[in-house]
Amino acid sequence: MTASEDKFTRQTLLDVRPWSPTLFSLRCTRDAHFRFRAGQFARLGVEKADGTKVWRAYSMLSAPHDEYLEFFSIVVPDGEFTSELNRLQAGDQLLVERQPFGFLTLDRFIDGQDLWLLGTGTGLAPFLSILQDFEVWERFERIVLVYSARTTGELAYQELISRLMQREYLQEYAHKLTYLPIVTREQVAGTLHGRVTTLIANGELECAAGLALVPESSRVMLCGNPQMIDDCRALLKARDMQLSLTRRPGQVAVENYW
């Protein structure tokens, strides 16, 4: 993928934070003219030593009103992009395309009472952006955030999640949020154990949320491992929950930039 100079801005890397040997987040400055909807993604670029540029798509984890941009990434062993990114330090440049992309946004749904946000790994990012925005709290009566990781060490952003509803502009909506962390490779108190698809199929996820996944009132967003997305879509389709399209509004929205 290439991008001409007029299609991107050069931003300053503010921080790179490792969460585990395989996960890290990065924060950079934000161009004053860059606008996005919560749930969208941007194409980020790094310049290699030979002057060529490498581009990858990352969902914004930061809120639309934040003065910075934050992203959540997996470390790809010998990956072209993350290998270059690992060389960078605070103060270095990060390229950000001017146009945001993606349709994992609330306008995918025209109705609904309960919103389920099902994320695995770095698929958590767009959901944290959505939850830090005001719109979602006015639109839905119940919101269930499901975050699945392999180990507890890979459950990132726990402090942000735990303090989210303490923010002054969200305090009156605190009763609407249910957070369900899942750990697939460990048995950990306070978390569910098993794959998201298994927990949907056996009813354990709904039991933990105290809420039913039904087409009449539930709206579901999926982001993460492509296999998880495909399997969840199949399970939801069996419950008469369809992908929401412009020509045919439905109950399910997904992000596909892997």
Going across the sheet that includes 218-223, the strands are 192-193, 177-183, 142-149, 114-120, 218-223, 252-254
**83 is written with which tokens?**
């290998």
Domain 106-254 sits in CATH 3.40.50.720: no
**Reported pTM:** 0.95
Asked if residues 173 and 206 have their Cβ atoms less than 8 Å apart, the reply is: no
Per-residue pLDDT of the chain (258 residues; tens, 9 = 90+): 455 678 999 999 999 999 999 899 999 999 999 999 999 999 999 998 888 999 999 999 999 999 999 999 998 888 888 878 777 889 999 999 999 999 999 999 999 999 999 999 999 999 999 999 999 999 999 999 999 999 999 999 999 999 999 999 999 999 999 999 999 999 999 999 999 999 999 999 999 999 999 999 999 999 999 999 999 999 999 999 999 998 999 999 998 755
The residue with tokens 């495909």 is: 230
Select from 210, 154, 163 the least CA-distant residue to 186.
154
Name the CATH superfamily housing domain 5-97: Translation factors (2.40.30.10)
Domain layout of the chain by residue ranges: 5-97, 106-254
pLDDT at position 180 is 98
pLDDT at position 75 is 87
